Amino acid sequence: MCGGCLVFRVACTHYCVTESAYRNHNNLMELINHTGLPLLQFSHFKNVAGLVHGVTTRKGGVSEGPFFSLNLGTQTGDDPQRVYCNRHKLLSHLSWNPSSVVIPKQVHGKNVVLITKERWDNDSAPHGLVLSGVDGLTTKETGILLMIKVADCFPVFLYDPAHVAISLIHAGWRGTANGIIAQGIGAMRKSFGTKPKTIKAGIGPGIGGCCYEVKEDVREAFSKQKSDNAVWKIDADKKIFLDLKKAIFLELIKCGLNKNNIEVASECTSCNPDLFFSHRREKGQTGRMAAVMGLV
């Protein structure tokens, strides 16, 4: 498995606030002006024409305390105005219309939803389309940005170059054990005729096997999926550690992807407090990074 393919790119060190995007947040303009917004990007996606993607870090936002600074999750206890300001900042940085974004309310399930223009026209609001009970999104529409939030769980990016279609999946242990990876790939096969062998995938940063101690119930959940022994480590004190990133990688292989088409972030969110929020490390009192993917 490749461990170092993510390219850390400081894409903008001198951020300029646009008047229209921030007209409701004037009190915070000073805080966000001239702030860099680093994005993590996969090397095999970053030069694909018409494909926008990235994973934010905790740097470059306006939130404070445990949410410092680029918290993109509203259901965290953070001031919602700051979260919306952070979101506007990210979308402006990507030159994306602030209303053209889909943001699921994730539930660690395996529901992957197809986003079409019709669905968009019917259900979207000025701040985008919010979908409850959804952990994966797939589309081939242009101009709609898929966004999921993470802080230890893994964002999984799928790109079908043959049909120019994408999926973005929120993969924690529950979703992975319940088959959300297969569900996401199945949605692409059904909707676009995607062949798994041609999919290019990226597994973003999440909690590493170094830090992810779990209980027996997690191992039992995975045993139903006949998980590979390689994803488990038991230390001298009989503590169980799950390498969830490896479990996701193996799921992708099981679904028919070519291992050479999968890039994997090497960073552990729990081991890098300066760069990432970590739900486990901070005992739940923390922010969320965002993973984004869209076609233009």
Q: Which positions lie near Zn ion, rule CB under 5 A?
A: 208, 210-211, 268, 270-271
Strands of the chain, DSSP E? 6-9, 39-42, 51-56, 101-105, 112-114, 129-132, 136-139, 145-150, 154-160, 165-171, 200-203, 213-214, 232-234, 240-242, 262-264, 289-295
DSSP 196-236: GGG-EEEE--B--TTT-EE-HHHHHHHHTTT--GGGEEE-T
Residue whose tokens read 């994973």: 55
CA gap 136, 175 in Å, rounded: 10
| Nearer CB in complex with Zn ion: 31/275 | 275
| Nearer CB in complex with Zn ion: 169/268 | 268
The least CB distance from residue 280 to Zn ion, in Å, is: 9
The least CB distance from residue 288 to Zn ion, in Å, is: 18
The least CB distance from residue 152 to Zn ion, in Å, is: 10
∠ CA(87), CA(282), CA(263), 5° rounding?
60
Distant-in-sequence, close-in-space partners of 111: CB < 8 Å, separation ≥ 6: 133, 134, 135, 136, 183
The least CB distance from residue 211 to Zn ion, in Å, is: 3
| Nearer CB in complex with Zn ion: 63/270 | 270
The least CB distance from residue 4 to Zn ion, in Å, is: 16
| Nearer CB in complex with Zn ion: 48/271 | 271
| Nearer CB in complex with Zn ion: 24/266 | 266
8 A C-beta contact, residue 196 and residue 189: yes
Run of H or E residues at 45? helix 43-46
The least CB distance from residue 269 to Zn ion, in Å, is: 8
CA gap 12, 92 in Å, rounded: 11
The least CB distance from residue 178 to Zn ion, in Å, is: 24
| Nearer CB in complex with Zn ion: 210/230 | 210
Report which residue's Cβ sits closest to Zn ion.
Answer: 268
| Nearer CB in complex with Zn ion: 11/234 | 234
